[in-house]
Structure 1
Amino acid sequence: MHLHLVLPGLLWPGTQTADPAGGLDLPALERLLGHGRLRTSAPTGADDWLHAAFALDPQQVSAAALRRLGEEDAGTPSGGADWLCADPVGLSFAREHLILADASTLDIAAGEAAALIDALNDTFADVGRFEAATPERWYLRPAEPPAARFVPLLQAVGRPVARSLPEGADASRWQRVTSEIQIMLHNHPVNRAREEAGRPLINSLWLWGGGHVPASARSPLPAVQAASPEVRGLARAAGIDPRTPNPIDALTTPTLVVLEHLARPALHLDLDAWRNGLAALEREWYVPVLDALKTGRLKTLILSAPGTRATLELTLSARNLWKFWQRPRSLDALHKTLP
């Protein structure tokens, strides 16, 4: 049996932090790191790594279409349909720059999202059709495919918005549309009520990820487990029904498991959340996986960790555990070998 764990954010990106995992009790992970064959390569974004793993060109993939396809309750996009993520965000001034905060900081209620989506569709019917799969993840099916390049949301969060504007043939049109959307949102009763209550405003949408669902996706393994809609959409594009991550089920058939406990904490340099995520992964995954290797229920483990400092790949077979001369290796010891 073969298991492939993908762990974006496993390698802590903050080079100034000494021993980020120091003091954590991670014996199962350290045993895996010490007995496996380790290889590091150039830094890779998790999305690009996953797209390549599913035989897709990362430069040609539509994040919006894949994420839309991976939503649980939003239906399935029709073939060939173009999509944009139209995620609700908050804009505020900081040191003379307009800075973007994503929806995770806004605490948007389902009723607020529904009211704003209705207003967007009433006002901007000529632009396309808006919908909210969840209060934090919104979409636009544009009336015409945009001839513009949009900056992914995660690359814009916390940065001056002026550095992340659309580019391309009709970029000016989409900048104008976005400005008009901001005016409508600012004047909407939902935001007036939020302002009176001292809550942050939902005062813009971030458009990104345009395109349609790829027709050529191929999964590297017969089963896929993932929680995020982006990865679940990849699986569905490859004709696989994705499952929720579960170590018991993952050990019954060759499975690709994407575990994103560490991705957001690493992105935001939230060390406490990252350490908590490591401890959870130790309990929920590393311990049962190590036990499965010891007992022979698992023959081969591959662990991939795409990151901004390096991309790590570990390969471990059950027989490697019998090499008594190899010692456990801490994650911090591994960090010290990275550029």
Structure 2
Amino acid sequence: MAVRPSPDAVPALAVLLPERRRFAGQPLGDALGKALARGDRLSDGEPGEQAQLLRHVDLLPRGWPMAAITRQRDAGDAVLHQWLRADPAHVRPDMTGARVLAIGDLGLSQDEADALLAPLRPLFGDTGFPISAPVPSRWYLALPVEARLPAFSPPDAVLGDDLFSHLPEGPEGRRWRALLNEAQVLLHNHPVNAARVAAGKPAVNSLCFWGAGKLPDRVHMPFAAVSSDDAELLSLAALAGVGASGDGPQLLDLRRARDLSAVAARLQPALEDLARDGLRLDFADGARWWLQAGQRWRFWRRPTARLA
């Protein structure tokens, strides 16, 4: 007989999934449809990428200093400063403002990133915030440890929205609005962008400031292994001392999935051999299910056809 678990219990396998609406209209398939119908629907968690990851990782002190966390994996020097991500972005003017169409992964080479940074180095260096790009998709500002910063919106909130509605506010935000405006002018006139546009590639014509903070004192994950290609999650795992393989609870990241049938196929072995400690599905919109072997006796439940 299945025992209803605590939402905080550690399963044999935890699976991170995107928002359910990404799979709108797609059939669940027989095995996954039966498993969800017979499984336990847990109380919903807080929606959003940050909240989803925080259900599986613990940071001390509390916060989300993702710039320092990824910087440590990218360059190994995060303990020296407070950090802020200043990721390359592509925005497109429209009738109401400037729509943010891409952040971070714009297909830049390291040579392109270095060339684009060249005119930005004096701009940010003169303010005491040196800029660097140890990898082409992740740009960083090194800040004094005691620097006070305004609130910046995370990329998942900014992407697809109007850039101007996410600019930092108040007196502390004024400096950052001015810096962004100057950076946009320098990037707009850069020959690398002219070459990219001519080649049909998106121009790097803005920056996305986010993830400010210092490296956490402690990062803990209750897993023996993490499978992911996401830089933020892998950086958290590295600080927690968790690698890609190990005996014990596993965390599988499928948040980039677009095809529900591919997700069902990936989960098929786990569904066929549900461990006593169970399988937890965690969607980015907060919906969660707990699946375990004893639930198979709930055969009277009609299979779920589609995600709500």
TM range (shorter): 0.7 to 0.9
Residues 39 and 313 of structure 1 are in contact (CA less than 8 Å); yes or no, is this contact kept in structure 2? yes
Counterpart for residue 77 of structure 2: 77
1:6 aligns with 2:15: yes
Q: How does 1:123-272 map to 2 (within 5 A)?
A: 123-126=123-126, 127-143=128-144, 145-197=147-199, 199-238=201-240, 240-243=241-244, 252-262=247-257
TM-score computed with the length of structure 1 as normaliser = 0.76
Counterpart for residue 7 of structure 2: none
Q: How does 1:40-51 map to 2 (within 5 A)?
A: 40-41=43-44, 43-51=46-54
What is the rounded CA distance, in whole Å, between the counterparts of 2:306 and 2:12 in structure 1? 21
Range with greater deviation from structure 2 (101-110 or 125-134): 101-110
Could you tell me how far 1:30 is from its partner in structure 2?
Answer: 1.4
1:62 aligns with 2:65: yes
Range with greater deviation from structure 2 (298-307 or 147-156): 298-307
What is the rounded CA distance, in whole Å, between the counterparts of 2:118 and 2:195 in structure 1? 17
1:36 aligns with 2:13: no
2:17 alignment partner AA: P
Counterpart for residue 270 of structure 1: none
Q: Which of residues 268, 289, 292 in structure 1 aligns to 2:270?
A: 289
What RMSD over aligned residues (CA atoms) do the two structures have, in Å? 2.9
Segments of 4+ moved more than 6 angstroms: none
Could you tell me how far 1:184 is from its partner in structure 2?
Answer: 1.6
What is the rounded CA distance, in whole Å, between the counterparts of 1:5 and 1:229 in structure 2? 18
Residues 4 and 256 of structure 1 are in contact (CA less than 8 Å); yes or no, is this contact kept in structure 2? yes
What is the rounded CA distance, in whole Å, between the counterparts of 1:281 and 1:48 in structure 2? 22
Distance change >3 Å, CA 46–CA 114, structure 1 → 2: same
3-state SS of paired residue (2:255): coil
Q: Which of residues 296, 303, 308 in structure 2 aligns to 1:321?
A: 296
What is the rounded CA distance, in whole Å, between the counterparts of 2:105 and 2:93 in structure 1? 16
3-state SS of paired residue (1:41): coil
Distance change >3 Å, CA 282–CA 52, structure 1 → 2: closer
Could you tell me how far 1:302 is from its partner in structure 2?
Answer: 3.2
Residues 68 and 229 of structure 1 are in contact (CA less than 8 Å); yes or no, is this contact kept in structure 2? no
Residues 222 and 249 of structure 2 are in contact (CA less than 8 Å); yes or no, is this contact kept in structure 1? no
Q: How does 1:87-106 map to 2 (within 5 A)?
A: 87-103=87-103, 106=106
Could you tell me how far 1:11 is from its partner in structure 2?
Answer: 1.6
1:7 alignment partner AA: L
Q: State the Cα deviation string for residues 233-265 of structure 1 (Å, max 9, x = none).
A: 222332x2332xxxxx67x52222232124xxx
Q: State the Cα deviation string for residues 280-324 of structure 1 (Å, max 9, x = none).
A: 21222x11101222xxxx22223232433xx22222222322444
1:20 alignment partner AA: G
Distance change >3 Å, CA 123–CA 180, structure 1 → 2: same
What is the rounded CA distance, in whole Å, between the counterparts of 2:13 and 2:202 in structure 1? 41
TM-score computed with the length of structure 2 as normaliser = 0.83
Gaps of 5+ in 2: 1-9
Counterpart for residue 109 of structure 1: 109
Residues 52 and 284 of structure 2 are in contact (CA less than 8 Å); yes or no, is this contact kept in structure 1? no
3-state SS of paired residue (1:290): helix
3-state SS of paired residue (1:170): helix
What is the rounded CA distance, in whole Å, between the counterparts of 2:95 and 2:105 in structure 1? 20
Distance change >3 Å, CA 153–CA 328, structure 1 → 2: same
